[in-house]
Amino acid sequence: MNKIYEPKPSSWSAILERPTKTVDDIELTVKEIFKEVQKKGNEAVAKYTSIFDGVNFENLEVSKHEIETAVAAVPAELKEAIQLAKSNIEKFHSAQKTAKVEVETVEGVRCWQEKRPIQKIGLYIPGGTAPLFSTVLMLAVPANIAGCKEIVLCSPPDKNGNINPAILYAANLCGVTTILKVGGIQAIAGMTFGTETIPKVYKIFGPGNQFVTVAKQLATQFGVAIDMPAGPSELLVVADDTSVPAFVASDLLSQAEHGTDSQVILVSTSKKLIDAVEEEIQIQLEQLPRKEIAEKAIANSKLIYVENDAIALELINEYGPEHFIVCTANDDFYIDGIENAGSVFIGNYTPESAGDYASGTNHTLPTNGYAKNYSGVNLDSFTKSMTFQKISEIGIQNIGKAIEVMAEAEGLQAHKNAVTLRLKDLKIEN
């Protein structure tokens, strides 16, 4: 890892740069595939599934038999773990329900807000070297709590044309209505436009590589909403001598093994800790099955020494990490002062992987600095807030004159007339 000591604020932007490609590098490919899927539907989806996944098959949709086979194949211990995680995720997200907000702004003018579910949502679940069945829980559970009617799931098939059994088990457990063996750009395009098999959805959720991220952003140009621009995973740990070096190293490696374009950063006020963590990383790295992937991610990562907590916090807020672990003698300082982070983990016994799987919080979070202006997925992500109002005869008299004056000042006579006619009907003259 790259060690950096007391970097000047003027250098922070360069030091904290993510190891991602620019949109220009991949946007042309994404647009080309979108255009073809829009025009040719399943034919184009099948073409790009063959090119990118090396699989050819006629039926994109997972059958009931395939689901039953997958459910039988998942070990009982894993089923129990998934069920525990599902229960905790349900508890946390159910607690996010809010009641109708209602107020009488002035006598006779009653306004209220209610939330309605987004009817059709799409879930993108990465497969490949790390099939993220946990992401199914993180997205399908709150979607069901919100009351979404149609939940469409796309995940890339393996070389045999199958989706990982644990993904299918979780999807079936969480009430996903349609499961499709489609990944990458073509999956996002399919859910954007709809094909003969893939339903068109109103909002797309889920993480993915940089191609999927750009595809989701392109989908917004065709009237489909997305959860956030979620790209390669990242983690920042702030720690001092009160932390356990082996724990810190394990957390850094837990994110590094996600992919070669992941990034992990340690910020510390202790040079001794930085050296100890670096040593631990090398020891633990040797034991990892995904060592080669983690090594490449570690090459993109940093060990940063700063003089004090105040400087550390300022640097962390500038970075805006997806995952933020706090393990210091002064945890409350960071908890109270953090402004830009997707999800925060506090103390020696709160690993980031707890949030990835089973504590109950959502692991679909903003990356690449988007924690500065996006929230992680939560129950409200699957709903729309609708406002209502009802005005009585007294109410229109109380606010009518103000509406007339404002409409006239903006030169919108029809707006004014809509009020004037009602006031005349009530025999209220100006």
Q: Would the CA dihedral through 157, 21, 353, 83 be positive or negative?
A: negative
Of 234, 322, 352, 404, the catalytic one is 322
* 3-class secondary-structure state, position 118: coil
Q: Is 415 annotated as a binding residue?
A: yes
Q: Beta-strand (E) ranges in 240-369?
A: 263-268, 302-305, 323-327, 343-346
Q: Is 263 annotated as a binding residue?
A: no
Q: Is 186 annotated as a binding residue?
A: yes
Six token digits for residue 390: 């009802």
**Distances 240 to 24, 57, 138, 244 between C-alpha atoms, Å:** 40, 54, 32, 9
Active site residue 278: no
Q: Is 65 annotated as a binding residue?
A: no
> How many angstroms separate the CA atoms of 382 and 203, rounded?
8
> How distant is the alpha carbon of residue 315 from its chain centre?
23
C-beta separation of 113 from 179 below 8 A: no
Of 93, 234, 280, 323, the catalytic one is 323
C-beta separation of 200 from 120 below 8 A: yes
> How many angstroms separate the CA atoms of 401 and 162, rounded?
66
> How many angstroms separate the CA atoms of 369 and 97, rounded?
28
Q: Is 93 annotated as a binding residue?
A: no
> How many angstroms separate the CA atoms of 415 and 5, rounded?
63
Active site residue 114: no
> How many angstroms separate the CA atoms of 121 and 134, rounded?
18
Q: Is 425 annotated as a binding residue?
A: no
Six token digits for residue 352: 């980031």
b/e sequence 313-335, b meaning 16+ C-beta within 10 Å: bebbbebbbbbbbbbbebeebbe
For residue 396, the cross-strand partners are none
Annotated binding site for substrate: 233, 255, 258, 323, 356, 410, 415
Annotated binding site for Zn(2+): 255, 258, 356, 415
Annotated binding site for NAD(+): 124, 186, 209
Annotated binding site: 124, 186, 209, 233, 255, 258, 323, 356, 410, 415
Q: Tell me which residues are annotated as active site.
A: 322-323
